[in-house]
Amino acid sequence: QVQLVESGGGLVQPGGSLRLSCSASGSTLDYLSIGWFRQAPGQEREVVSCISSTDRGTFYADSVKGRFTISRDNAKNTVYLQMNSLKPEATAVYFCATVTLVRVGVPIGCSGDVWGQGTQVTVSS
């Protein structure tokens, strides 16, 4: 059973950047699609971005398109989420998960299967 651990969260000022990492143990990520999700206080968990295990196709929520980039380094068994131009509304606990992709040709979303414990991201001046 794969286990996922997130890291890289913290406090950043609006307009700043963070890179989150999702490291796997217990299994290789080579054949797993991975997603990043976030949950703000009092709100439901929402998908941020997903990346395919096969063609590296990606999905981004409209709220992060053009500012966030998901990538994977299978040699390091790690998936990254580069977050630029951060806004206060990005404050949340960020989770990575193995996912099932929803595709219409390209990925249009994903649902989480096995979850990490989360890392806190706070965007505040």
Tens of pLDDT, residues 9-54: 999 999 999 999 999 999 888 899 999 999 999 999 999 999 999 8
Q: DSSP code of 68?
A: E
Q: What is the DSSP string of 96-116?
A: EEEEEEEEESEEEEEEEEEE-
Tokens coding 57:
């196709």
Using pLDDT thresholds of 50, 70 and 90, give the confidence band for residue 58.
Answer: very high
Q: What pLDDT score was predicted for residue 61?
A: 97
